[in-house]
Amino acid sequence: MTHPGPVMHLFDQDVSLTEAEPLRYKGFVQDNWSVNGIPNGGYLMAIVANAMALASDKRSTPIVTANYLSRTVIGEADLHVEMITRSTQFNRLQASLIQDGREKIRSFGTFADEKIECVLERYETAAPLVAPLEACVTSPKIPNLTLLDNLDIRLDPECAGWFFGKLSDKSEHKGWIRFRDDRPFDLISIFLLADSFPPAVFASQGMVAWVPTIEMSVNVRKIPATRWLKGIFRTRFITCGLLEEDGELWDEEGNLVAISRQIAQYRKSVP
C-alpha cells in the first residue's frame, strides 16, 4: 500500500527556491498573491526571507526589513544573499531580489539562535478585541486581486464600512486571516500575512488610494499553532504623500505572533 507524500500547498510552491551556487538562488514570482497584477509586498518579502533562511543556520524570531527599490513583476527572479556577520546569538544577512539584471528589493535580516534565553515574557497590551468570525465581513470579490483568491480575510464590522461606502474617522483594520487551503502557519508565511490585510487607510479614505510599500519591517515572535490569526493594523499619520502602518498578528490563544511597520506612498487615485 502506498501512502501519499506531504501536501505541497500553493504558497510553498510560490516561494520555493533552487540553489544555483552558494548564496545564490533562483525563484519565480507568481501571480497568485497580487493586486492588479503587482505582487504583494509581503509575498515578495517571504521569498527574500526564504533565501536568507536557507543561508542561515539560525532561524528563530527573525527581524526582516525590505526596501522596495523598483516594481517587481511576475517572472523569474535571482536571489543573492550575503552573510554580514555571525555571532553566538545572531546571524545578520543581506539579500537582493534581482530581475533582468536590476535590483528590485534589498533586504536585511537578523535571525536568532533557537536556544536564545527568553528571560521575560511581558505584554503591555493585549490581543485586539475582534468580532466573532461569523459576525465579520468578507471582502467582496475584487477583479485582479488574486491575493483574496488564496487568503481568507474577514474584517470586523466596526472597520468594514468602506466596503459599502461608509467611511470611518479612524484608519484601522482588525479581523481574522488564514490560508483558504488551510495551510498551517510557519515562519515564512508570517511575512505574507503581515502585509495581506487591506491598507488601514482604506477604512477612512475608501479604496481610491494608491498605497505602494516603500519599506517594510516584520519581526516574527512566535510560530502559531491555531487555525486563524487575528490582525490589527493602524495608520495615524498621512503627510507629504507618505503614511505609516503599524501592525500586529496574534494567535487565537492571545499570543503575539508578529509585529510590523511599513512606510508607503499615498495618492488619492491610481496613476
| Domains and their CATH numbers in the chain | 10-114+135-265 (2.40.160.210)
pLDDT in tens, 29-58: 999 999 989 999 999 999 999 999 999 999
pLDDT at position 157 is 97
User: Which residues on neighbouring strands pair with residue 110, listed in sequence order?
Assistant: 63, 92
Mean pLDDT of all residues in 162-168: 93
pLDDT at position 210 is 81
Residue 269 has pLDDT above 70, yes or no: no
Residue 172 has pLDDT above 70, yes or no: yes
Percentage of residues in the chain with pLDDT exceeding 90?
A: 86
pLDDT in tens, 212-262: 999 999 999 999 999 999 999 999 999 999 999 999 999 999 999 999 999
Residue 188 has pLDDT above 80, yes or no: yes
pLDDT tier, 142 (very low <50, low <70, confident <90, very high otherwise): confident
Query: Which of 259, 253, 198, 194 has its CA nearest to residue 228?
Result: 253
pLDDT tier, 2 (very low <50, low <70, confident <90, very high otherwise): very low
> Pseudo-torsion of CA 64, 66, 72, 74, nearest 10°?
10
The DSSP bridge pattern shows strands 38-39 and 60-68 to be unpaired
Helices (H) and strands (E) in the chain, counts: 5, 16
What mean pLDDT is reported for the chain? 93
Percentage of residues in the chain with pLDDT exceeding 70?
A: 96
pLDDT at position 141 is 72
Query: Is the distance from CB of 72 to CB of 104 less than 8 angstroms?
Result: yes
pLDDT at position 270 is 54
Give residue for cell 505572533.
Answer: 257
